[in-house]
């Protein structure tokens, strides 16, 4: 391919990506989803290596097969497929449908931290802001993206609630605020305006998700916990411990903001008291 052909091809791809981005913004997609879909489409266009944007199902199939051979997991390949389907269905308005079905994803149980492990992590965290960040993520069942974007106005300290705006799926939800850290949070946000972030970076801006995850990873090592846990394990632990306390699964679903009860029910496989009470015959 000549330089001129490359220039033309790149211009056409850029135009297609811009159109896709505009469509997703009009539809109210989150910034993270837009970024993920655009990255997926760039990979697909690079694989096609052609100026022709028309739908070619066999081409899509070969692209996904190559990703499978490269070691991409089922979940990653499904994201790629969803992005491609969205592009042809909702951006190009193609009449032809894509008959490729999503890959079957592995069914894995979430990594749960025990109450003692949570207490150990909080006790070894000497940085007050970091300790409160981890405590609130666990005590309210927050995603890392919700922690770093949390504003002072989102906190209802007298009512012990957090009002999350445009959370995952662009939906608002209300969750619990742990009373045990209310005074510490009040001291942290004292003198701030409602629009200020609760957990600011050292330079005054928003913490990055990577920084929050690094804080968690460092604390996990410091507490000498060997589980393959991530920041999201705090949210998993919140749900599991509520169910262990006897909270109805539908209330847990509402607090987590799950669209489907099936997503929440996977925690019952971790905390099933009937299984816990069974003893091995050995």
Q: Which of 77, 131, 235, 241 is catalytic?
A: 235
Q: Which of 82, 85, 232, 266 is catalytic?
A: 232
232 catalytic per annotation: yes
The SS3 assignment for 151 reads strand
25 catalytic per annotation: no
Characterize the bridge pairing of strands 155-156 and 161-167. Answer: antiparallel
> Which among 231, 225, 200 is positioned nearest to 124, based on CA atoms?
225
267 catalytic per annotation: yes
Neighbours of 278 (CB within 10 A): 8
> Which among 274, 270, 222, 6 is positioned nearest to 113, based on CA atoms?
270
**Does residue 242 contact residue 252 with C-beta atoms inside 8 Å?**
yes
18 catalytic per annotation: no
Q: Which of 61, 168, 182, 266 is catalytic?
A: 168
**Tokens standing for 71?**
């070691």
Q: Which of 77, 130, 143, 236 is catalytic?
A: 143
The dihedrals phi and psi of 191, each to the nearest 5 degrees, come to 85, 0
**Nearest-angstrom CA–CA distance, 4 and 9:** 9
The SS3 assignment for 173 reads strand
**Nearest-angstrom CA–CA distance, 235 and 75:** 20
Cα 8 from chain centroid?
Answer: 36
Catalytic residue set: 143, 168, 232, 235, 258, 267
């Amino acid at each position: 391919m000549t330089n001129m052909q490359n220039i033309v091809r790149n211009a056409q791809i850029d135009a297609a990506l811009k159109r896709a981005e505009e469509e997703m913004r009009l539809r109210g997609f989150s910034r993270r989803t837009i970024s993920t879909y655009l990255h997926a489409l760039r990979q697909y266009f690079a694989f096609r290596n052609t100026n022709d944007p028309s739908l070619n199902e066999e081409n899509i199939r070969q692209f996904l097969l190559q990703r499978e051979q490269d070691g991409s997991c089922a979940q990653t390949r499904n994201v790629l497929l969803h992005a491609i389907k969205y592009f042809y269905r909702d951006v190009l308005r193609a009449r032809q449908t894509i008959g490729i079905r999503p890959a079957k994803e592995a069914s894995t149980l979430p990594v749960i931290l025990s109450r003692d492990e949570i207490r150990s992590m909080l006790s070894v965290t000497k940085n007050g802001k970091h300790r409160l960040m981890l405590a609130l993520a666990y005590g309210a069942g927050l995603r890392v993206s919700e922690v770093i974007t949390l504003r002072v106005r989102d906190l209802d300290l007298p009512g012990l609630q957090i009002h999350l705006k445009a959370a995952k799926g662009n939906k608002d939800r209300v969750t619990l605020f742990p009373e045990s850290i209310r005074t510490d949070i009040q001291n942290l946000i004292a003198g701030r305006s409602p629009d200020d972030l609760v957990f600011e970076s050292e330079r005054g801006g928003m913490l990055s998700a990577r920084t929050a995850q690094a804080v968690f990873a460092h604390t996990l090592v410091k507490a000498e916990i060997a589980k393959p846990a991530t920041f999201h394990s705090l949210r998993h632990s919140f749900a599991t411990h509520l169910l262990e306390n006897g909270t109805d699964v539908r209330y847990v679903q509402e607090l987590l903001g799950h669209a489907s009860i099936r997503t929440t029910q996977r925690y019952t496989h971790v905390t099933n008291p009937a299984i816990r009470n069974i003893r091995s015959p050995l």
